[in-house]
Structure 1
């Protein structure tokens, strides 16, 4: 029987900005604690993404005890501190793909910082506890809710899946191109495609659907420069229904703490 071990945990506090590697994380109803609870939106409330604005890759987030620190990787402006306990600002109706929900502006001064950093209007909003954004009912199992993530609370990718891709590339790419929450070692490439339910520690996860990949995977997260790879190569062997698949979107049952080194126990395969 294959042994699968959790090797990395990532959160992305502000949607589409740099991620944070953790030793352990708290699984909550909407996903990992502090994962995509903040988001940048335009003047109409539409979410901003590296898909259209590759310069967002140059903004890195750090987790601190009292809040988030955001800095520019090329040090083009002073770092920004975003306290967790700031008073909620104005209510904003925001749109993520086909979903519309209520968020709150964090602070107008913080909006000015992001607007300057990105060279376009960029309002930082936070998802209040009162907002209940539902997972797509087609793939939900128990009316699960999600943060500002694209559609699901979690994404898992096997290290062997990336290793196989990199064996086909002239220049290997790091895992940060794919923005997973969980990375595991062990098994065959794309073993995660075959899972239906599994546990990490005491928490049960269920595969919702494969993750369709976009041009974000082609952006170097250190430079913001976009190329054709790895999407071009992935398309040669991972295309299903005209979409390029890499990784599995997940929903879950239960809350608690998981940490690197935990075993992934597969309960049921597809």
Structure 2
């Protein structure tokens, strides 16, 4: 036993605010309804992501839910937004897409440069291509599930001047209640997790953090310590051969699909 499921989250539109759910079906394509849609920049053909705050941080002022007829996007004032409303809000021509274009990619601004130069600075960026550890045709940056522990959240809060951190900043699918101090999920990399009655996940990598946790999320204000704490206290190699990066949480793939609910036991197997 390593803990139990504390919370479940999904984010129907990539880089928008998500929704907490009471239970969820999980398949090899991730949690049902998670990252099902994304905003496409019509000028560049790239996926819009708040990983580039200079252009796209306003995405985090929108809330998305998965409706029976598609994504429902609510703007900062609570009104429903279609493509023209998103274009006006973001200041660039965009459309809501349900399928990644061929060779889909996004820009990930260097987080250390964003911290040093500010949100509006034109900083260097890495190009992230979809599908390296996720099923084809999905909008996941790397893998279909992201997990974080309450131990990690408590550790970041204790090291922050605010003595608090909001789980929404790290955008996990599963929040795992754990008692072990520090950042225990990094030790799960390479292991399988058995959750509830049948769900089995394989943890494949620690999660390097971008600038997104530092940004305003809806009513949550900007908090640079959501990244600074990790940069100072939890730099680990996300993948073999890479330099250590600020990390929080882990990525996982689905070995055996299943249903997950808060309270489900989590064990390594």
Q: TM-score range by the shorter chain?
A: 0.7 to 0.9
Matching of residue 112 in structure 1 with residue 84 in structure 2: yes
- Rate the CA distance shift 1:122–1:144 in 2: closer, same or farther, 3 A: closer
Find 2:179's aligned residue among 166, 187, 210: 187
**Bigger shift: 159-168 or 194-203?**
194-203
Find 2:195's aligned residue among 197, 200, 205: 200
Find 2:96's aligned residue among 109, 115, 124: 124
Contact 1:17 1:58 in 2 (8 A): yes
RMSD: 2.5
* Whole-angstrom CA distance in 2 between matches of 1:146 and 1:66: 19
Q: How far does the alpha carbon of each residue in 1:109-156 deviate from its partner, in whole angstroms, 9 at most, with x for none?
A: x3222112322212110028xx9x9742xxx5xx85572011100010
Map 1:163-242 → 2, pairs under 5 A: 163-171=154-162, 172-188=164-180, 189-195=182-188, 196-201=191-196, 202-223=198-219, 226-240=222-236, 241-242=243-244
* Whole-angstrom CA distance in 2 between matches of 1:41 and 1:255: 30
* Whole-angstrom CA distance in 1 between matches of 2:40 and 2:200: 33
Bigger share in helix: 2
Offset of residue 205 of structure 1: 0.7
Map 1:63-74 → 2, pairs under 5 A: 63-74=66-77
Q: How far does the alpha carbon of each residue in 1:4-27 deviate from its partner, in whole angstroms, 9 at most, with x for none?
A: 110111111100001110111111
Bigger share in strand: 1
**Bigger shift: 250-259 or 224-233?**
224-233
Q: How far does the alpha carbon of each residue in 1:142-177 deviate from its partner, in whole angstroms, 9 at most, with x for none?
A: x85572011100010001110011011112220111
- Rate the CA distance shift 1:20–1:252 in 2: closer, same or farther, 3 A: same
Query: Any unmatched runs of 5+ in structure 1?
Result: 81-109
Q: How far does the alpha carbon of each residue in 1:25-44 deviate from its partner, in whole angstroms, 9 at most, with x for none?
A: 11122111111110001123
Offset of residue 217 of structure 1: 1.0
Contact 1:207 1:251 in 2 (8 A): yes
Matching of residue 154 in structure 1 with residue 155 in structure 2: no
* Whole-angstrom CA distance in 2 between matches of 1:160 and 1:146: 33
Task: Give the number of aligned pairs.
Answer: 229
- What is residue 48 of structure 1 aligned with on the other side? 48
* Whole-angstrom CA distance in 1 between matches of 2:28 and 2:140: 13
